[in-house]
Amino acid sequence: MDLLYQTHSPYARKVLVFAHEAGLAEQLRVIHHETSPTNRNDEVFTVNPLGKVPVLILADGEPIFDSVVICDYLETRNEQVSLIPAVGPRRWAALRMQAVAQGMCEAGIGLRWDTSRRPEHLRYPALAEGMKTKLIESYDYLEQSTELDQPVHVGHIAVAAALDWLAFRNLPDFETGRPRLSKWFREFLQRPSMLATPYDGETRD
């Protein structure tokens, strides 16, 4: 299977970390692609009308996107410990945690647009402040979450990828004043799946 990837995408990294945790990484051929809303990548558009990575291309050529759907697919091939609980409260807790991570990435990307990527005369400080608020509230939510202490699932993977990306991009700090979250994050960073998938590179607009 081919995984269209980007070394500085939190969504792409989530998928690759998931693959490592599921024992499937060796089945993937990882192909880096640069994409952004202002930088069209024709190869990616041929398999994803949104022009975004990650995209997983199966052996028969069928593309699967986005990161949530790719992780769902990989779970169907996961012969190790389940990373997406099938039923019950643990399933909803894992998916809820993944949703928080997705939202943090969206807020962080929005904050970057309005503080560094968009031309200064087009920036909207109130929107940037709103995105920052979403991040801070999410950090506080995670600090109080009992889910941090549960066995690894897709929610943990998504949160770790999101937090490490926020640190990589020098976005609002999530460790100061949040000892539980900081300890959990520092320990998760040492997992082989995280060590094998470091962030690298700059966005090309």
CATH class of 88-195: mainly alpha
Same fold, 2-76 and 88-195: no
Mean pLDDT confidence for 9-33: 98
Omega prior to 66 cis, within 30 of 0 = yes
- Tell me which residue of 109, 96, 121, 115 sits closest to 162, measured CA to CA: 109
Distance separating alpha carbons of residues 22 and 27, to the nearest angstrom: 11
The CATH code that applies to domain 2-76 is 3.40.30.10
Domain extent listing, the chain:
2-76, 88-195
In this predicted model, what pLDDT tens digit does every residue of 171-199 receive, in sequence order? 999 999 999 999 999 999 999 999 999 99
In this predicted model, what pLDDT tens digit does every residue of 102-139 receive, in sequence order? 999 999 999 999 999 999 999 999 999 999 999 999 99
In this predicted model, what pLDDT tens digit does every residue of 111-120 receive, in sequence order? 999 999 999 9
In this predicted model, what pLDDT tens digit does every residue of 76-97 receive, in sequence order? 999 999 999 999 999 999 999 9
